[in-house]
Structure 1
Amino acid sequence: MNVFAGRMIIAVGGDVVTHNLVSAGILPDVAVIDGSTMREPCERVVDLPVPEIGGVSNPAGMLTGALIRAVEDAIDAGPCLIRVDGEEDLAVVPAVRAAPDGACVLYGQPGEGVVVITVDKNARDKADWLFGLFAAE
């Protein structure tokens, strides 16, 4: 039984998460990857039969306008793989802000497993609050 059936699935911080979803036969609507896991090169290859956005630059500990726009555009446009040059971990914040109610945003929690956020007003309010803590570029 697929607990994600009928929901938009967004995998962020996501090389291992995305690989495991695809291996389980679940294709995310949006996947944001950076080619690493726990800041080491990721051995698992992510191969999705969807359009790809590459060259999105995002340094560690930051959210660039390019990454925010890429996440928002991918959520609006449909299935997409975003390859980040740098680090994608914080993309969960704009993903939750842009995703429709009921969408599931998944990300890896090192040493713990996968965290699933079901987007609703409460989740979006928390993401808005976190987003407000970032300085404009």
Structure 2
Amino acid sequence: MDYILPDGCRKYFRDPFGPLFPDIATAESVFAGCVIIAVGDVVTQNLVDAGIIPDLAVIDGSTMREPCDRVLDLPVPEVVVVNPAGMVTGVLIRAIEDAMHAGPSLIRVDGEEDLAVIPAVRAAPDGACVLYGQPGEGVVVIKVDEHSRDRAEVLFRLFVAE
């Protein structure tokens, strides 16, 4: 099943879902030792540049809806899924859930990966950290626990099943 985010609900996704840091180096003390899930090309590349290979990376080849000038080629198994803008497909949800049990993985999205943060938090084990970029501001780090998972559930309920 696929899920569409109604236009009127997009406002709930504008504020950072967790603490905002200016860069990876500043945030590293928060996510050190965690299972790391990176959502977005720039945050993934910044992790790799810092010598950190995320346990799961979800990228779409663009940043702020423009082609990303960084081509990521991680030394991990890769899956390609289709996920149009403004929605979360069942295929993306399953790929994220499968990756949580498969070890290091890269999910390359044909479409848009922005909303993948929600299924990533829902599927991640307690103690994992989901990182994503807040354009023009820095990186958001979500430490997965009951509270963050509950918040992800509330946000997921805003989607309409298709």
TM interval, short-chain normalised:
over 0.9
CA distance in 2 between partners of 1:48 and 1:39 (Å):
22
Per-residue CA deviations over 1:33-77 (Å, capped at 9, x if unaligned) read 0000000000012121000001x1111110110111111111121
Residue 4 of structure 2 aligns with which residue? none
Residue 86 of structure 1 aligns with which residue? 111
Which sections of structure 2, spanning at least 5 residues, go unmatched?
A: 1-24
Q: Secondary structure at the match of 1:85?
A: strand
Give the TM-score normalised by structure 2.
0.80
The equivalent position to 1:100 in structure 2, one of 95, 118, 125, is 125
Q: CA deviation at 1:5?
A: 3.4
Residue 22 of structure 1 aligns with which residue? 48
Q: CA deviation at 1:89?
A: 0.4
Task: Tell me how many residue pairs correspond in the alignment.
Answer: 135
Indicate the structure whose relative CO is greater, using CA pairs within 8 Å and at least 6 residues apart.
2
Q: Secondary structure at the match of 2:88?
A: coil
User: What RMSD, in angstroms, separates the aligned Cα atoms of the two structures?
Assistant: 1.2
CA distance in 2 between partners of 1:5 and 1:15 (Å):
20
CA distance in 1 between partners of 2:146 and 2:70 (Å):
34
Instruction: Name the larger-Rg structure.
Output: 2
Give the TM-score normalised by structure 1.
0.95
Equivalent runs, 1:1-137 vs 2, <5 Å: 3=29, 4-12=31-39, 14-54=40-80, 56-137=81-162
Q: Secondary structure at the match of 2:97?
A: helix
Q: Secondary structure at the match of 1:47?
A: coil
Paired AA for residue 141 in structure 2: V
CA distance in 1 between partners of 2:103 and 2:122 (Å):
16
